[in-house]
Amino acid sequence: DQQVKQNSPSLSVQEGRISILNCDYTNSMFDYFLWYKKYPAEGPTFLISISSIKDKNEDGRFTVFLNKSAKHLSLHIVPSQPGDSAVYFCAANTNAGKSTFGDGTTLTVKP
Amino acid sequence: DSGVTQTPKHLITATGQRVTLRCSPRSGDLSVYWYQQSLDQGLQFLIHYYNGEERAKGNILERFSAQQFPDLHSELNLSSLELGDSALYFCASSGWTSGGVNTQYFGPGTRLTVL
């Protein structure tokens, strides 16, 4: 049973437009959510996070939205830039510190 | 640079062999996590150690084992290797605190190729 799902394996957007990456989860015990970005041949790097007591967190061009009732979170990147092209993983944490990752979405931003 | 180091960067070996992957966490981090990423797949959690003790196990095969030493570095041992074990193996560390705040810092990975 996959507790964290990223249903879109890939997403392609034009430079300057908005990129929206989605993530769904099933475990209501998750109380902290993170997004990681991964370039080829590198390890994932932390991008942005959100606590379950919030519904939005913003950091520059990146905003994460959390809808607890729908068990859904999304990452918005605006404006998208070619350097944003990477694989994006969402991860969900329990307060015991265990992280569960989704399978990732490959974002391609076209110039 | 995340501060997490992994060695070796690449490893090529034959089926049936045994290898050891090494990870040094960021200074001060007590938690070490191991993940496997096979071709075009997501990060599969293998195991988590906290200050030398095993804290959680994921989909780790019995042929695989890990440990965290007193100096907090960790080793992942893979034995009786099969072709399907070829993958990227990532180590991550975190300065875990209560409340679910668990930002993990990943190393560059070890690419294992089993021929």
Provide, as residue numbers in chain B, all residues whose Cβ is less than 8 Å from the Cβ of A49: 101, 103
Helix (H, G, I), strand (E, B) or coil at A83: helix
Confidence band of B38 (pLDDT split at 50, 70, 90): confident
**Across B80-98, average pLDDT:** 88
pLDDT at B10 over 90: yes
> Which of B2, B43, B48 lies at the smallest CB-CB distance from A101?
B43
**How confident is the prediction for chain B on average, in pLDDT?**
91
Q: Which candidate from B90, B102, B108 shows the least CB-CB separation from A93? A: B102
Looking at the complex, does the CB of residue B80 fall below 8 Å from at least one CB of chain A?
no
Tell me which of A55-64, A82-91, A92-101 is least confident.
A92-101
Residue B57 — pLDDT band, cuts 50, 70, 90? Answer: confident
Alpha-carbon distance of A78 to A17, in angstroms, equals: 6
Integer Cα distance of A42 and A23 in angstroms: 22
B44: pLDDT strictly greater than 90: no
pLDDT exceeds cutoff 70 at A97? no
- What value does the mean pLDDT take over residues B5-30? 96
Comparing CB atoms, the residue among B42, B92, B107 nearest residue A103 is B42
Average pLDDT across chain A, whole number: 92
* Predicted local confidence at residue A6, as pLDDT: 95
Nearest to A98, CA basis, from B92, B111, B2, B40: B92
- Report the residue from B103, B107, B109 with minimal CB separation from A46: B103
pLDDT at B13 over 70: yes
Residue-wise pLDDT for A15-40, tens only, equals: 999 999 999 999 888 888 999 999 98
- Asked if A94's CB is within 8 angstroms of B45's CB, the reply is no
Give the SS3 label for residue B100: coil
Report the pLDDT averaged over residues B27-53: 88
What backbone torsions phi and psi does residue A9 show, to the nearest 5 degrees?
A: -70, -25
pLDDT at B91: 96
Question: How far apart are the CA of B24 and the nearest CA of chain A, in angstroms?
Answer: 14
Question: Is the Cβ of B5 closer than 8 Å to some Cβ of chain A?
Answer: no
Query: What's the rounded Cα separation, in Å, for the pair A73 and A66?
Result: 4
B106 touches chain A (CB under 8 A): yes
Q: How much is the average pLDDT of B104-112? A: 94
Answer yes or no: do A42 and B109 touch at CB < 8 A.
yes
Rounded (5°) CA angle A107-A109-B2: 60
State the pLDDT at residue B43. 86
Q: Which of A99, A100, A103, A106 to probe by mutation at the B interface, max B CB count within 10 Å?
A: A99
